[in-house]
Amino acid sequence: MFYQPVAFDAHKKYPLLVVIHGGPAWASFPIFSNCFNEKYPIEPFIEKGFIVLEPNYRGSSGYGNEFLKANDRKLGIANYDDLISGVDQLIDKGIVDKERVGVMGWSNGGYLSAFCSTYSSRFKAVSVGGGITNWVTNYVNTDIPYLMRSYLGDNPWNDPEIYTKTSPMTYIQSACTPTLIQHGEKDARVPIANAYELHQGLRDMGVETEFIIFKGMAYSPDQPGMNVAIINLVFTLSSWRKDERF
């Protein structure tokens, strides 16, 4: 999905925000849904002059079974290629400033955002929400280890290579992008150990990072105002707001 600001001028270059859906077998649609984009409504960003891209990367629903399974044993790396192909297309059209591209997502969207934070230098700022950062860490702490085996093909003891290759923490030494991390304290699906690991790794690499813990929050916000707090933190605390990168 692609959204442009009101009074869009095709002769101007705009900042781009890539908003990544979770799942991974969910999808982005041109509608508001409490199941898909309740944490990151795009309207505030469009009003502020962003172009917003919500990519349906391989593994998303709605494109047939072959596409749904196209990221099996290719999590992260294949999805990153999909995200970047969309970014590059908009840059090639001349409507996006390649120096002003940010990315954010929650759950699997947070995982892919974390992947962008450590694997890539293409982004100016990253917001990681409830994201997996190390598949082994997640496997031994999550309430659904069978999902990892489903997508990665085995457990980490029998196939450590695939768990390493697809983990954002594997690439932490090349990380350079200012990163906001947000995570629920009581998340059993994507345990907060993932967030602690990414935060410490980024700090050790000298990368600017902010870490916000939502006390008592599980996998999804279950208290009034929590979604509002999440999006407000992206606006007010994330690194790209501090030095007017956007």
Rounded Cα–Cα distance for residues 127 and 106 (Å): 9
Q: Are the beta carbons of 102 and 156 closer than 8 angstroms?
A: no
Q: In what order do the strands lie in the sheet with 125-129?
A: 2-3, 51-53, 14-20, 96-106, 125-129, 179-184, 209-214
Domain count, the chain: 1
Asked if the model's pLDDT at residue 25 lies above 70, the reply is yes
pTM: 0.89
Evaluate the CA torsion angle 236, 237, 241, 243 in order and state its sign. positive
CATH of the domain at 221: 3.40.50.1820
Q: Which residue has the higher pLDDT, 38 or 133?
A: 133
Rounded Cα–Cα distance for residues 142 and 144 (Å): 5
pLDDT tens per residue, range 182-231? 999 999 999 999 999 999 999 999 999 999 998 888 887 666 676 777 77
Asked if the model's pLDDT at residue 245 lies above 60, the reply is no
Asked if the model's pLDDT at residue 246 lies above 90, the reply is no
* Structure token pair of residue 174: 């090349």
* Structure token pair of residue 176: 């350079």
Residue 102 phi/psi, 5° resolution? -120, 165
Asked if the model's pLDDT at residue 31 lies above 70, the reply is no
Domain encompassing residue 225 = 2-242
